[in-house]
Structure 1
Amino acid sequence: MIPILDTHLHLVYPERFSYPWLAGAPALNRAWRVEDYLAEARPLGIEAALHMEVDVAEADIEAETAFVTGLEGVVGAIAACRPESPDFPAQLERLAALPGVRGLRRILHQAPDELSRTPLFAENLRRLAAHGLSFDLCVRHDQLALGRDLAARVPEVRFILDHCGAQDIVVGETSPWREDLAAIARLPNVMAKISGIIAYAGPGWTLDSIRPYVEHVIECFGWDRVVWGSDHPVVTLGGSLTDWVGATRRIIAGASADEQARLLHANARRIYRIGERPSP
Structure 2
Amino acid sequence: MLIDTHLHLVDRGQLSYPWLADVPALDRDWSYEAYDTVARRVGISGTLHMEVDVEEGCIGQETNMVEQLMSRPGSLIRGAIASGRPEAADFAAYLENLDGNVVKGLRRVLHVVPDEVSQAPLFRENIRRLATRALTFDICMLQRQLPLAATLADAAPDVIFVLDHCGVPDMSAESFGDWKEKISELAKRPNLNIKISGIVAYTGGDFTLERLRPYVEHAIGAFGWNRVVWGSDSPVCTLGGANLETWVAATYALTLGCSKDERAAFFSENARRIWQLD
Give the corresponding residue for 2:96.
Answer: 93
Question: Unaligned regions of 5+ residues in structure 1, if any?
Answer: 276-280
Q: Are residue 259 (structure 1) and residue 257 (structure 2) matched? A: no
Runs of 4+ in 1 over 4 A off after TM superposition: none
Aligned residues: 272
Give the corresponding residue for 2:72.
Answer: none
Residue type at the aligned position of 1:57? E
Give the corresponding residue for 2:206.
Answer: 204
Is the contact between residue 129 and residue 157 of structure 1 (CA under 8 Å) also seen in structure 2?
A: yes
Distance 2:174 2:251 in 1: 18
Give the corresponding residue for 2:220.
Answer: 218
Give the corresponding residue for 2:78.
Answer: 75
Post-superposition offset of 1:169? 3.5
TM-score calculated relative to the size of structure 2: 0.95
Residue type at the aligned position of 2:24? P
Higher helix share: 2
Over the aligned positions, Cα root-mean-square deviation in angstroms equals: 1.1
3-state SS of the aligned residue for 1:175?
helix
Residue type at the aligned position of 1:203? G
Question: Unaligned regions of 5+ residues in structure 2, if any?
Answer: 70-74
3-state SS of the aligned residue for 1:69?
helix
Residue type at the aligned position of 2:64? A
Q: Please give the per-residue CA displacement for 1:91-148, whole angstroms capped at 9, x wherever unaligned.
A: 11112x2531100000002211001111100000111011000000001111110101
TM-score calculated relative to the size of structure 1: 0.95
Is the contact between residue 172 and residue 209 of structure 1 (CA under 8 Å) also seen in structure 2?
A: no
Post-superposition offset of 1:67? 1.3
Distance 2:49 2:248 in 1: 17
Give the corresponding residue for 1:166.
Answer: 168
Give the corresponding residue for 2:35.
Answer: 37
3-state SS of the aligned residue for 2:46?
strand
Give the corresponding residue for 2:271.
Answer: 268
Is the contact between residue 28 and residue 234 of structure 1 (CA under 8 Å) also seen in structure 2?
A: yes
Give the corresponding residue for 1:177.
Answer: 179
Is the contact between residue 18 and residue 55 of structure 2 (CA under 8 Å) also seen in structure 1?
A: yes
Give the corresponding residue for 1:27.
Answer: 25
Map of 1:6-17 to 2, 5 A cutoff?
A: 6-17=4-15
